Structure 1
Amino acid sequence: MVEAIDFRNAMSLLTSAVNVITTTGVSGHHGFTASAVCSVTDTPGTLLVCMNTSSRSYVHFIENKILTVNVLAAHQQNMSQVFASKLSSEERFEHGEWTTLMTGAPILKETLVSFDCKIDQIQEIGTHAIFMCAVVAIQQNTNKSGLVYFNRAYHQVGNEDMV
């Protein structure tokens, strides 16, 4: 069996997009920063999102059954840090500009792209849950540079001058 620390160290070398995952419902807006997001299929458009089940927001995502994957642009590193911080859910949403699409889950403006989703299936494995999410709307923006996480640090990819 691989030790957890060895696994985490190895995974730090897997470059990942930085995302702010959001939901809303009767208990208010909630969100967290995640790199564990992946395309499953394009027919129908489906993403998977992994979330720690001990997160204070976990129950809200389960109850709401909707979420948005906000893929951060290079200039939005501060939003990643805000949504990974100990700030309350209300305080987190005081940062950035927000809108909505079909589900009503918060869409962060100026991202690379936002995927508005309904959570179709949930599977718990170890410390995390996997949300299988049907994409119901997409908002793509004009930003050309993305934010990635590699070797425990943020990096910019892409080029603002790209057409």
Structure 2
Amino acid sequence: GAEINNNPSPGNKEGGLTTIYEKSLGAIAKGGSTALVDVVGYAEPVKARGFVVMDTPGYDPVSMTGIVAGGANILVFTTGRGSVFGCKPAPSIKVATNTPMYEHMIDDMDVNAGVILQGTPVEAVGRQIFEEILAVASGKKTKSEVSGVGEEEFAPWSIGPTL
């Protein structure tokens, strides 16, 4: 039979996560020290300014689809295992969390945050991500857009158990 427990995903488990709680704490940690201003349901419009969390499943295409439905115009997506997510309705900037994966997937990753482990200051990589967001907002194509992928990854969430 099939399992409905796909959180954390098999890839998350291979990467060392053991529970959905660890995965969720990792997502919150990416917000840094910024104060959380709101929590919204899946695909609900984000009306507050600042750090807002949306209740989404952990599956990349479904999660990002909800964020786009909530009003996002550009997505910044971190991956440590090489998710090749792209999203046709909104550009998806992929941030690789380790250099070997970035180098292996250079045609699909937009930013290499793995350089932090080699001594590049976090602030410098943050600035690079910010500059990439501005460039994409000004018309630069993401690697997914250049490759022409993402049309099939707009995937609304079927709320409730599915197999």
TM interval, shorter chain, is: under 0.3
Which structure's relative contact order is higher, taking Cα pairs within 8 Å and 6+ residues apart? 1
Q: Which has the higher strand share?
A: 1
Using structure 2 for the length normalisation, give the TM-score: 0.24
- Structure with higher helix content: 2
